[in-house]
């Protein structure tokens, strides 16, 4: 029997994904700032945002969004609810500890009042549960109503209001001691440095030799694939200079254009011993790149959340199913 899920349908889905990203773009930075406050870490924030986008896209495509029965009235609200639900799921069976914030996280996405952010953080630091922590951020910083938040965290409107009143009474002073200097694992540092050396050799073969045969490559917002023989190495290695750095407890590889020395992107690698098993490319993670650029003291690339549509049309045209 022929496979009904055709490559033509895969092309339609891929195009729809990028259209979805364009719909999300106007409040993408706002959602990222929320994820950053939930997690306290730029890398975890990007992971949460990516997971929320994918989950939301999947739920809308599957038909789980029933407007008549739902208090959700917009894609923005739906994304915030999805991010909250996903993050709360990660907190289950863990002892609650509020994340650490550093001074830079007081710098807000466009349209937010920094005074409100500082006040909300003072309240959020005092709470004793992940649900109330999220509720404080959602109401005090992002302006969601008690009813909307109750839907986000599966509680009653009265319970949300009561919890926020208690948080206000317990507010504490925000500490600006800076993000804890968590050391990066030595083996991880050595593997990343080997990746830097391979990239700077100018030989794509050296880069591929460092990768596992079925290395998993993910480009934030865009997609990914498996296998060291894919196009990522040919497109990423030539013309770029790599440098190793560390931020928020994670080693990363900063990429600069060889011809202009401009900051280009960031890559994070994971693996075992002397083999890279996973590569995460942040070329289109605009908000994470801005944070890393500020840390490095360089200008962040003026780039959107995906490639230009001309490039996307070519990607869509060549889309194939991931199975044979």
Spell out the domain ranges in the chain.
7-169, 186-317
Q: What's this model's pTM, rounded to 2 decimal places?
A: 0.87
pLDDT at position 160: 93
Q: Give the pairing type, strands 240-247 and 211-219.
A: unpaired
Q: Which CATH architecture group holds 186-317?
A: Roll (3.10)
CA 38/CA 24 separation, integer angstroms: 19
Residues of the chain short of pLDDT 70, as ranges, are 1-4, 63-73, 100-116, 172-181, 324
How buried is 184 (Cβ within 10 angstroms: 0-12 exposed, 13-18 middle, 19+ buried)?
Answer: middle
| Domain 7-169 indexed as CATH 1.20.140.160 | yes
pLDDT at position 129: 87
SS3 320: coil
pLDDT at position 292: 95
How buried is 193 (Cβ within 10 angstroms: 0-12 exposed, 13-18 middle, 19+ buried)?
Answer: middle
Residues 6 or more apart whose CB falls under 8 angstroms from that of 191 comprise 269, 271, 273, 274, 276
pLDDT at position 314: 86
pLDDT at position 320: 75
pLDDT at position 123: 79
- Taking only the tens place, the pLDDT of each residue in 111-131 is 566 666 777 777 777 777 899
Contact 26, 17 (CB under 8 A): no
Closest CA to 244 of 290, 302, 287, 191: 191
pLDDT at position 176: 46
pLDDT at position 1: 43
């Amino acid at each position: 029997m022929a496979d009904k899920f055709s490559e033509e349908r895969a092309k339609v889905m891929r195009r729809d994904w990028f259209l979805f990203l364009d719909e999300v773009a106007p409040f993408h930075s706002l959602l990222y700032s929320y994820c950053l406050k939930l997690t306290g870490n730029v890398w975890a924030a990007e992971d949460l945002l990516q997971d929320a986008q994918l989950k939301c896209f999947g739920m809308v495509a599957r038909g789980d969004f029933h407007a008549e029965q739902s208090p959700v009235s917009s894609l923005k609200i739906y994304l915030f609810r999805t991010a909250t639900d996903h993050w709360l799921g990660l907190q289950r069976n863990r002892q609650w500890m509020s994340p650490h914030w550093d001074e830079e996280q007081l710098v807000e996405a466009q349209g937010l009042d920094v005074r409100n952010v500082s006040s909300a953080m003072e309240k959020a630091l005092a709470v004793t549960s992940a649900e109330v922590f999220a509720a404080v951020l959602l109401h005090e910083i992002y302006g969601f109503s008690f009813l909307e938040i109750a839907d986000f965290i599966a509680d009653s409107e009265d319970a949300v209001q009561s919890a926020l009143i208690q948080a206000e009474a317990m507010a504490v002073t925000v500490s600006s001691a800076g993000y804890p200097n968590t050391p990066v694992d030595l083996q991880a540092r050595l593997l990343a440095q080997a990746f830097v050396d391979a990239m700077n050799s100018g030989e794509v073969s050296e880069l591929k030799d460092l990768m596992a045969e079925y290395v998993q490559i993910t480009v934030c917002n865009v997609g990914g694939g498996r296998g060291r023989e894919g196009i990522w190495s040919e497109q990423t290695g030539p013309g770029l200079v790599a440098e190793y750095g560390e931020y928020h407890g994670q080693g990363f590889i900063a990429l600069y254009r060889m011809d202009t020395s401009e900051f280009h992107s960031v890559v994070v690698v994971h693996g075992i011993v002397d083999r890279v098993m996973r590569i995460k490319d942040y070329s289109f993670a605009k908000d994470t790149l801005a944070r890393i650029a500020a840390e490095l003291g360089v200008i962040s690339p003026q780039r959107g959340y995906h490639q230009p549509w001309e490039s996307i049309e070519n990607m869509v045209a060549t889309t194939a199913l991931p199975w044979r």
